[in-house]
Amino acid sequence: MATQPKERRDWRQEVTDTIVDMMERGVAPWQKPWDDKAAARALQMPHNGVTGRPYTGGNALYLMAKGSALGYDDPRWMTYNQAQEKGWQVRKGEKGTQVEFWQFDRVEKVKGEDGKWREERVKLDPPMQRLYTVFNAQQMDGVPAIQPPKREEWQINETAERILKNSGAVIQHEGTRAYYSPASDSITMPPKASFASEVGYYGTALHELGHWTGHESRLNREGITKFDYFGSTQYAKEELRAEMASVFLQAEIGLPHDTERHASYVDNWLETLKKDKNELFRAARDASKIADYVMELDREKELTNDQAQQLQQGREDAEQLQPNDVPPRGTPAYAAKLRQSIQERNATGDYHVLHAQVREQLGDNVNFGRLASDEPIKGKVIAETEHSIALEIAPGQAVALYKMDLKALPKPGQQVSIGAPSEQGREVALDRMIEQAHEKTQARHGEYNSTALRPEEGQALMQGAEQWEVQKQAEKLNPADKAKLMAKSNTQTAQAATKKQELDSAPREKAYIENVKDHAAIAAVARDGKTVALPELNAVAYVDKVSGDLTLKAPTAATLHALQEKTVTPDTVVVNNTPTKADSMSFDNSTGDAAGLAADTLRRMGAEPQNIEKVMGLAMTPEQKQAKLKESLEVLQYDAKELLGNNAKTHPAQTAEGNYKGAIVGQTTYHVMQQVSATQTVAHDKSTFNGQVPQPGQHVQIKYDQGRATAAQVAQTKARPKEKAMER
């Protein structure tokens, strides 16, 4: 009798059925059903007990579910052979748990055109699924007891708060619902005090942060970019991804999971999972991407000054060593000495020695071989020599960027490839270095343009500073790339200088201020006996959108040509002044009084008295200005209370010389005061505040001196209960 062929096992269907069964019984895969107090304990991500490498995607979710169902508190899993190599013994009768591994390529022997056989890595299409069996550490004898990290509740909450801040997401607190709005790209949360515990608050916030990552400028997930409607299948899929991601993130930082939050989504999840056995794995894969994305944002912001000081100390120690001295392994001096040697070998093109030294520094994480420009590098850290890496800028495309963009050295378990960059990659890398030099120069020396007596002087100072930045970066490169970088920079500087000279040589005409009733003073120019008005659309270039300050500069020939067909309005006021190419004047418009601004402008530019009087007739009265300032103060106080809570203290206006030591001083909702010396403070935009919220015990002062609240802000504040802002 013929034997019936054995039916192939559908592992993914089995896993999906297991998860669905748990959910139908009211148990989350990451919840221990026998322990009501389980929610009060921190989750831990399943990981390999030998390599330390975390399981991801569907494997992580399935091992969480199995550990939950079988009562395992230990997150360590490993194969039988791995346990044997460590001298640990799987107990007789214990059953393993299967996880999947996908093989995307393999090494095969191929015959070349020269007739010789060689080994090549060949991509598998489709990839091959392999299943292997792992056992939990609690199924073995001889395994050392796990030592979970000891983290106090305040430390865990502080970490969660830091992750939210470092993400850069806009989070506002109002109302009674928590949600992410794709339209405004912002998260709305109820006030923290309305949650039963901080665990509930941070778990919900991380869930909404998961949705936030789906924006087209980030992970570009269809559940966000093509949102359908609440309760739809697409909505259920997106909620499943956000909830799984919050579980993975909470396990990463040790935050207990609130099992009640997922209950409202279960019915929709079950319907989706039952229809498609692969949806669970797609969701888990996306959730892993979300968690990795959020944690990477946090890691990038957390490179501390201590690390920088250690590296600098290592360099100094290495410089004091004799040529044949070898510092102890693992010390900053050893790493610095090794980096110096690697750079020297790279400069001479001795790649055999280079590879050996890179392997010595990075260990078994290194994987050598050439990197094709179309080779997918997703999920890898790819280093090109010790001091450069390749980043993915499009699916399947990689370019080389120098170490200035490498945020951190690879962690254990990450894959690192060493290879020679392509010529195209080098060009992109050098262009990016020049861009970064320009960005750093603007950030550090932007005041040159405003403090110089003439714009030409400020421009020269900026160019000198930028060339110095480029030169500093060039010192990190080998001789050939260094020469190419400097040549590129010199060419771009010369082109910019030529363009500026063309603009400066254009003829300047008389300047006018047009009498208008809106919130922007509109500049006008005269040409060939005709007066033309600069349209309000172009006036934005002259009026600061935040402060309302107006800067008048002499128009260029290009501006005149574009406007020569325009006609003047009857109430244009002529100013008796002919500006030169170096003239630049600024005027304050703190209350949005356009007519008052225009009148002040006319006075300073020497207009006829009757023209000044004519414009003043349209200006705001002192009473109107006072009312405007009062409204703005109410907006400021409300927003400050919303942002800073009870640490916020309103404070009368102070001079810039006031001593703010130990205080964070906000100047309207758009600015903060930053202390630069014992008695001097300067104003910076809110973005430079790094999103830091004052800690308990810190003193916060809100400085009030401007009236720049918009009509929408005033209306919104008046619509809110006043007591809400003052009680917080």
The mean of the pLDDT values for the chain is 61
Identify which has the larger pLDDT, 362 or 717.
717
Query: What is the reported pLDDT for 640?
Result: 58
More reliable by pLDDT, 52 or 374: 52
Residues contacting 251, CB < 8 A, separation 6+: 30, 42, 43, 44, 45, 257
Is residue 557 over pLDDT 80? no
Residue predicted with more confidence, 374 or 307 = 307
**pLDDT for residue 537:** 22
Lowest mean pLDDT among 90-99, 145-154, 561-570: 561-570
Does position 583 have pLDDT exceeding 60, yes or no?
no
Q: Residue 108, exposed/middle/buried by CB under 10 A (0-12, 13-18, 19+)?
A: exposed
Rounded (10°) angle between helices 266-275 and 233-253: 110
Predicted pLDDT of residue 317: 57
pLDDT of residue 78: 92
Q: Is the pLDDT of residue 166 over 80?
A: yes
Grade residue 609 by pLDDT with cuts at 50, 70 and 90: low
Q: What is the pLDDT of residue 701?
A: 47
In the prediction, which pLDDT does 669 show? Answer: 31
Instruction: State residue 605's pLDDT score.
Output: 52
Name 517's Cβ contacts closer than 8 Å, sequence gap at least 6.
594, 595, 618
Cα distance between residue 642 and residue 528, in whole Å: 56
Q: What is the pLDDT of residue 483?
A: 83
Distance CA 82, CA 139 (A): 14
φ/ψ (deg, to 5) at 350? -85, 80
Two tokens at 472?
A: 């500093």
DSSP state of 585: E
**Is 70 exceeded by the pLDDT of residue 647?**
no
The span from the CA of 75 to the CA of 62, in Å, is 12
If one compares 229 and 454, the residue with the highest pLDDT of the two is 229
Confirm if 299 and 407 have CB atoms less than 8 A apart. yes
Residue at token pair 């039963």: 196
Least confident range from 15-24, 475-484, 638-647: namely 638-647
CA distance 385 to 374: 19
pLDDT at 140 (0 to 100): 94
Pick the more confident residue, 6 or 662.
Answer: 6
| Mean pLDDT, range 340-345, rounded to an integer | 53
Q: In the structure encoding, which two tokens stand for residue 702, read together?
A: 């809100």
Mean pLDDT, residues 504-518: 36
pLDDT of residue 393: 31
Beta bridge partners of 188: 172, 179
pLDDT digits (tens, 9 = 90+) for 114-143: 777 877 777 777 777 788 899 999 999 999
User: Which SS3 state, helix, strand or coil, does residue 587 take?
Assistant: strand
| Residue bearing tokens 């792992």 | 134
Quick one: pLDDT at residue 364?
47
The helix/strand/coil state of 634 is helix
Which one, of 412, 324, 456, lies nearest residue 51 by Cα?
412
Residue 687 has pLDDT above 70, yes or no: no
Confidence band, pLDDT 50/70/90 cuts, at residue 558: very low
565 or 111: which carries more pLDDT confidence?
A: 111
- Least confident window among 197-201, 564-568, 605-609: 564-568
What pLDDT, in 10s, does the model give residues 3-37? Answer: 444 455 677 777 777 777 777 776 666 654 434 44
pLDDT over 60 at 365, yes or no: no
Neighbouring-strand partners of residue 690: none
Taking only the tens place, the pLDDT of each residue in 667-681 is 333 333 333 333 333
- The answer to whether the CB of 342 falls within 8 A of the CB of 385 is yes
Choose the weakest-confidence range: 39-43, 400-404, 593-597, 689-693.
400-404
Is residue 89 over pLDDT 90?
A: yes
pLDDT at 161 exceeding the cut of 80? yes
Q: What is the C-alpha to C-alpha distance for residues 313 and 541, in angstroms, rounded to an integer?
A: 47
pLDDT of 580 strictly over 70: no
Question: How would residue 164 be classed by pLDDT, with cut points 50, 70 and 90?
Answer: very high
Give CA torsion, residues 306, 309, 315, 321, to 10 deg: -90
Whether residue 446 contacts residue 465, with contact meaning beta carbons closer than 8 Å, is answered with no
Q: Which of 173-187, 324-338, 644-658 has the lowest mean pLDDT?
A: 644-658
Find the range with the poorest average confidence among 202-216, 319-333, 632-646.
319-333
Predicted confidence band at 497 (pLDDT cuts at 50, 70, 90)?
A: confident
Kindly state the average pLDDT of the residues 55-84.
Answer: 86
Cα gap 620→594, rounded to integer Å: 9
- Ramachandran quadrant class, 721 (left: phi over 0; alpha: psi -120 to 50; beta: rest): beta
User: What is the Cα–Cα distance from 686 to 673, expressed in whole angstroms?
Assistant: 9
| pTM for the whole structure | 0.41
Chain centre distance of CA 96: 41
